Amino acid sequence: MAKKQKTFSLPLTIAACLLAFVIGAVAGFAMWTVYKNPKGGDVYVSGDLQIHFMELGNNYTGDSIYIKAGETDILIDAGSRANSTDATSEYIDRYCTDGTLEYVIATHADQDHIAGFAGSSSSPSMFERYKCETIIDFALTNKTTQVYQNYVKKRDAAVAQGAKHYNALQCYKGENGAQRVYELSDGIKMEILYQEFYENKSSDENNYSVCLMFNQGDKHFLFTGDLEEDGEISLVESNELPKVELFKAGHHGSKTSSNDVLLKVIEPEIVCVCCCAGSVEYTQNFENTFPTQAMIDRVSLYTDRVYVTTVGEVVYNADKEKYEDNGFGPLNGNIVVTSNKSGVNVQCSHDNAVLKNTKWFKDNRTMPSAWS
- The tens digit of pLDDT for each residue in 251-298 reads 999 999 999 999 999 999 999 999 999 999 999 999 999 999 999 999
Determine the Cα–Cα distance for residues 219 and 49; give it in Å rounded to an integer: 10
Does the pLDDT at position 352 exceed 80?
A: yes
- 91 in the Ramachandran plot: left (φ > 0), alpha (ψ -120 to 50) or beta? alpha
Express as a percent the part of the chain with pLDDT over 70: 87
pLDDT value at 21 more than 60: no
Q: In the predicted model, is pLDDT for residue 141 greater than 50?
A: yes
- Of 57, 159, 52, 155, residue with least CA distance to 106: 155
DSSP class of residue 150?
H
Point out the least confidently predicted range of 15-29, 132-146, 294-308: 15-29
Q: Is 165 exposed, middle or buried (0-12, 13-18, 19+ CB in 10 A)?
A: middle
Which amino acid, 259?
N
Backbone angles phi, psi at 89, to 5 degrees: -70, -40
User: What domains appear along the chain, each with residue ranges and CATH number?
Assistant: 44-371 (3.60.15.10)
Q: Is the per-residue pLDDT at 366 higher than 50?
A: yes
Q: In which element (H, E) is residue 263 found?
A: helix 260-266
Mean pLDDT on 69-87: 96
3-state secondary structure of 92: helix
Which of 4-18, 67-81, 218-232, 304-318 has the least mean pLDDT? 4-18
Tens of pLDDT, residue by residue over 241-252, are 999 999 999 999
| pLDDT at res. 11 | 52
Is residue 204 pLDDT above 50, yes or no? yes
34 has a pLDDT exceeding 50: no
What is the β-pairing status of strands 322-330 and 343-348? unpaired
pLDDT at 92: 97
Q: What is the mean pLDDT of residues 22-46?
A: 38
How far does Cα 214 stand from its chain's mean position? 9
Given a cut of 80, whether residue 7 has pLDDT beyond it is no
Q: What is the mean pLDDT of the chain?
A: 90
pLDDT attached to residue 326: 95
| Average pLDDT for 343-364 | 97
Task: Give the pLDDT band (50/70/90) at residue 33.
Answer: very low
Contacts of 38 (CB under 8 A, 6+ apart): none
pTM over 0.75: yes
> Please, which residues have CB within 8 angstroms of residue 114's CB and are 6 or more apart in sequence?
77, 78, 106, 108, 147, 148, 151
Q: Evaluate if residue 344 carries a pLDDT over 70.
A: yes
In sequence order, the β-bridge partners of residue 223 are: 212, 248
| Residue 19 binned pLDDT confidence (cut-offs 50, 70, 90) | low
Going through the chain in order, the beta strands assigned E by DSSP cover 49-53, 65-69, 72-76, 100-106, 131-137, 164-167, 181-185, 188-192, 212-216, 219-223, 246-248, 270-277, 306-317, 322-330, 335-340, 343-348
